[in-house]
Amino acid sequence: MTLLDELSAILGEAFAAAGLDAAYGRVARADRPDLAQFQCNGALAAAKAAKQNPRALAQSVLDKLDASDVFSETAIAGPGFINLALHDAWLAVRADGRNGWRSPSLEKLVIDYGGPNVAKPLHVGHLRAAIIGESLKRITRAAGDEVIGDAHLGDWGLQMGQLISELELREPDLPYFDIDAQGPFPADPPITLADLEAMYPAASAACKEDEARAGLAREATKALQDGRPGYRALWRHFVDLSVAAMKVDYADLGVDFDLWNGEADADPLIPEIADDLRDRGLLETSDGAEIIRVARDDDKKEMPPIIFRNSRGAVGYHATDVATIVDRVRNIGPDRMLYVVDARQRLHFEQVFRAVDRAGYFREDRLEHLWFGTMNGEDGKPFKTREGGTLKLRDFIDMVTDKARARLVENGLAEGYGEAETAEIAQKVGIAALKFADLSNPRTSDYIFDIDRFTSFEGKTGPYLLYARARIRSVLAKATGAGGVIAIAAPEERDLALALAGFADAHRDAYQKRLPHILCEHAFGLAQAFSKFYAACRIADEADDEVRASRIALAEAVAAQLDMIFDLLGLPAPNRM
Ligand code: ARG
């Protein structure tokens, strides 16, 4: 049970004893921490419903409240708020705060995140998808859900046909292009990763400029999807080259998928899904294409149909997403599927979710598009490199690592540690800066990438938290004696205990709302409370044995809780700086 749940249950009993609905007893952190620790606003709503005076009703609830061991203070404030403060002794035993929240209804989840595309450079949308998705995977898993993270590679679209036709134009004599060849084909790829990465922009530009060239790409896409052996073999090489490189980048970013499935994996299901939909009258032909209508009478905006197969017979993004859902139902059997994908794809997912619901494949209310805003550059447009190009994850990681290194030097940190450790610390600080900035901005907002602010050791930043963690560890390393029973005396100890005791609530909120920034706020509040405690109270050099043991126990609890939060957010942390 979380602290707020526990307090709400106590207040709820008092409301029930006063003849009111226990649900009115919901307790929250006080809006004004200078006036109270917690508050319950239920008397206002209860009084409104019962047409009574709220202050009088609040008093009748307090008369029934039987919790003198819990609350040191209960008071009615303003129009009928109930303000509450906890006894230090009651709080102290809840200050450990090492446990997050456990969900009462354990579910099996698939989280579809990352979504990188074969041979295409990652753009900022992919960066956020990876960082937020990884954190949501950890947050849900820690709550007890069984969670499967799937990268859902973009490996089946037009870009594959563009690449195949590009190579065919450049090197028509390769065995893959012999239309009669059935294989086997060479085991080694005919090109390198660098070739592949260079080929993609060339192919995509050529297709934009030249309609005939674009036609070749479409034909190649269709032939690939129809199973032409040489194209399939070539495609496999492209995917393998790309995935090997992606794995290295994602590992540096602390992102790790359970499944590396792609759009292509669901492709074999498409013919039978099409037959099923057609038989049931759900697949209609329109201008030579096969579509599924998803509009509803009460729609406020236009809701175009899904294009299941285009007029040239090729399947695209809609169909592979429908088929992927069917595939997951069969092979994984999840209770829910969560998609951590750019806000720009909201219409796409709404269409797909409606289509699978209409077909009876999976319920719409168990499909969640957890969309996110854009990481912008200072011009307010999606972040680009200085040259105006798309972000390459590798370059981006290098950029923040360099900046982090400069920051360490500026702050006189990690001095004299030797080159290997300094480099490792700089990388961790850089990645933590980048990830914390991304996670602490509410998922649904856009934000501006400000490398100076994000890498600063002051303010609500990853480096600040890393530093706080390292400092607590160094304090603990210096302290003699073990942690003992927590006893609260100083106000800074009380505030720190209150912060610690809020962890499970923060975890629950972040889980239920699918918003990792709630945990970032909590972590920042905890680190700040520790700083004040550290400034006001002696720890390692406290003379009184019992007081020292209590303070060591508080510091240990902070260190343990920060570690858990870092794990939930997917932040790396050096042990010293
Ligand atoms: N590859 C896609 C893109 O770059 C993202 C995939 C998201 N997941 C999905 N099931 N559609 O836009």
Q: What is the pLDDT of residues 328-360, one digit of tens each?
A: 999 999 999 999 999 999 999 999 999 999 999
- Ligand 1 atom at shortest distance from the alpha carbon of 116: 1
The tally of CA atoms less than 13 A away on the side-chain side of residue 158 is 15
What's the gap in Å between 152 CA and the centre of ligand 1?
7
Domain that holds residue 545: 393-569
Percent of the chain whose predicted confidence (pLDDT) is above 90: 89
pLDDT for the residue 390: 78
Pairing outcome for strands 71-77 and 375-376: unpaired
The tokens describing 560, both together, are 């343990």
Contact 315, 416 (CB under 8 A): no
The tokens describing 470, both together, are 């390292």
Q: Is residue 421 part of a domain?
A: yes
Burial (CB < 10 A; 0-12, 13-18, 19+), residue 196, is buried
**Count of CB atoms situated within 10 Å of the CB of 345:** 18
Strand partners, 112: 150, 339
Protein residue whose Cα sits closest to atom 12 of ligand 1: 115
What's the gap in Å between 53 CA and the centre of ligand 1?
55
Q: Is residue 251 part of a domain?
A: no
CATH code at 521?
1.10.730.10
Contact 522, 561 (CB under 8 A): no
CA separation, residue 303 to residues 186, 300, 309, 347 (Å): 47, 9, 18, 8
What's the gap in Å between 112 CA and the centre of ligand 1?
8
pLDDT for the residue 132: 98
* Residue where a domain stops, chosen among 86, 116, 144: 86
Protein residue whose Cα sits closest to atom 5 of ligand 1: 115
* Bond before 463 cis per omega within 30 degrees: no
What's the gap in Å between 346 CA and the centre of ligand 1?
11
What's the gap in Å between 345 CA and the centre of ligand 1?
9
Burial (CB < 10 A; 0-12, 13-18, 19+), residue 188, is exposed
Least confident of 6-20, 375-389, 507-521: 375-389
What's the gap in Å between 126 CA and the centre of ligand 1?
9
Mutate to test the pocket of ligand 1, among 152, 153, 259 (most ligand atoms within 8 A of CB): 152
Q: Is residue 198 part of a domain?
A: no
The tokens describing 24, both together, are 């009115």
What's the gap in Å between 151 CA and the centre of ligand 1?
9
Q: Kindly tell me if the per-residue pLDDT of 122 is higher than 80.
A: no
The tokens describing 233, both together, are 């073999």
pLDDT for the residue 98: 80
Protein residue whose Cα sits closest to atom 7 of ligand 1: 115
Least confident of 20-24, 448-452, 462-466: 448-452
For helices 545-569 and 462-478, give the axis angle rounded to 10 degrees.
150
What's the gap in Å between 150 CA and the centre of ligand 1?
11
Q: Kindly tell me if the per-residue pLDDT of 481 is higher than 90.
A: no
- Ligand 1 atom at shortest distance from the alpha carbon of 317: 11
Pocket of ligand 1, beta carbon within 6 A: 112, 115, 117, 152, 154, 321, 339, 341
Q: Degrees (nearest 5) of the Cα angle 267, 272, 278?
A: 120
Q: Degrees (nearest 5) of the Cα angle 154, 157, 161?
A: 125
Contact 185, 230 (CB under 8 A): yes
Q: Kindly tell me if the per-residue pLDDT of 423 is higher than 90.
A: yes
Contact 9, 19 (CB under 8 A): no
Q: How far is Cα 362 from Cα 218, in angstroms, rounded to an integer? A: 31
Confidence of residue 178 (pLDDT cuts 50, 70, 90): very high
- Can you tell me the mean pLDDT for 453-479? 94
- Ligand 1 atom at shortest distance from the alpha carbon of 348: 11
DSSP element (H, E) containing 52: none
What's the gap in Å between 365 CA and the centre of ligand 1?
20
Q: Is residue 542 part of a domain?
A: yes
- Ligand 1 atom at shortest distance from the alpha carbon of 153: 1
What's the gap in Å between 262 CA and the centre of ligand 1?
10
The tokens describing 508, both together, are 């629950």
Q: How far is Cα 33 from Cα 281, in angstroms, rounded to an integer? A: 60
- Ligand 1 atom at shortest distance from the alpha carbon of 117: 1
What's the gap in Å between 448 CA and the centre of ligand 1?
23
Contact 123, 390 (CB under 8 A): yes
Q: Is residue 494 part of a domain?
A: yes
The tokens describing 332, both together, are 């994984």
What's the gap in Å between 114 CA and the centre of ligand 1?
8
* Residue where a domain stops, chosen among 86, 111, 143: 86
Residue 110, sorted as left (phi over 0), alpha (psi -120 to 50) or beta, turns out to be: beta
Contact 95, 49 (CB under 8 A): no
Nearest Cα neighbor of 62 from 49, 76, 48 is: 76
What is the average pLDDT value for the chain, to the nearest integer?
A: 95
- Can you tell me the mean pLDDT for 218-243? 95
Q: How far is Cα 164 from Cα 222, in angstroms, rounded to an integer? A: 11
What's the gap in Å between 244 CA and the centre of ligand 1?
19
CA separation, residue 475 to residues 13, 72, 541 (Å): 43, 32, 10
Protein residue whose Cα sits closest to atom 6 of ligand 1: 115
Which residues are CB-contacts of 33 (< 8 A; sequence separation ≥ 6)? none
In this structure, the chain runs to a length of 577
Q: Is residue 175 part of a domain?
A: no
Residue 80, sorted as left (phi over 0), alpha (psi -120 to 50) or beta, turns out to be: left
pLDDT for the residue 359: 98
Q: Is residue 515 part of a domain?
A: yes
What's the gap in Å between 153 CA and the centre of ligand 1?
7
Contact 305, 295 (CB under 8 A): yes
Confidence of residue 472 (pLDDT cuts 50, 70, 90): very high
Q: Kindly tell me if the per-residue pLDDT of 124 is higher than 80.
A: no
Protein residue whose Cα sits closest to atom 2 of ligand 1: 115
Protein residue whose Cα sits closest to atom 8 of ligand 1: 115
Confidence of residue 383 (pLDDT cuts 50, 70, 90): confident
Nearest Cα neighbor of 500 from 94, 102, 28 is: 94
C-alpha dihedral, 90 to 96 to 100 to 106, nearest 10°: -70
Mutate to test the pocket of ligand 1, among 127, 317, 341 (most ligand atoms within 8 A of CB): 341
Residue 24 per-residue DSSP state: G
- Ligand 1 atom at shortest distance from the alpha carbon of 324: 10
Q: Is residue 68 part of a domain?
A: yes
CA separation, residue 242 to residues 118, 222, 265, 548, 571 (Å): 6, 21, 16, 55, 25
Protein residue whose Cα sits closest to atom 11 of ligand 1: 321
Three-class SS state of 339: strand
Strand blocks (E) in 90-132: 108-113
pLDDT for the residue 313: 86
Nearest Cα neighbor of 354 from 291, 311, 262 is: 291
What total of structural domains would you count in the chain? 2
- Ligand 1 atom at shortest distance from the alpha carbon of 349: 11
Residue with tokens 């753009």: 123
Q: How far is Cα 11 from Cα 21, in angstroms, rounded to an integer? A: 11
Burial (CB < 10 A; 0-12, 13-18, 19+), residue 67, is middle
Q: Alpha helix locations (H) across 65-157?
A: 88-92, 124-142
The tally of CA atoms less than 13 A away on the side-chain side of residue 565 is 37
- Ligand 1 atom at shortest distance from the alpha carbon of 126: 4
Return the sign of the alpha-carbon dihedral for residues 372, 378, 380, 386.
negative
Protein residue whose Cα sits closest to atom 3 of ligand 1: 115
pLDDT in tens, 54-96: 999 999 999 999 999 999 999 999 999 999 999 999 999 999 8
Q: How far is Cα 109 from Cα 62, in angstroms, rounded to an integer? A: 43
Q: Kindly tell me if the per-residue pLDDT of 119 is higher than 90.
A: no
- Ligand 1 atom at shortest distance from the alpha carbon of 342: 12
* Residue where a domain stops, chosen among 86, 116, 139: 86
Mutate to test the pocket of ligand 1, among 122, 324, 345 (most ligand atoms within 8 A of CB): 345
Confidence of residue 392 (pLDDT cuts 50, 70, 90): confident
- Can you tell me the mean pLDDT for 231-239? 97
Strand partners, 38: 29, 84
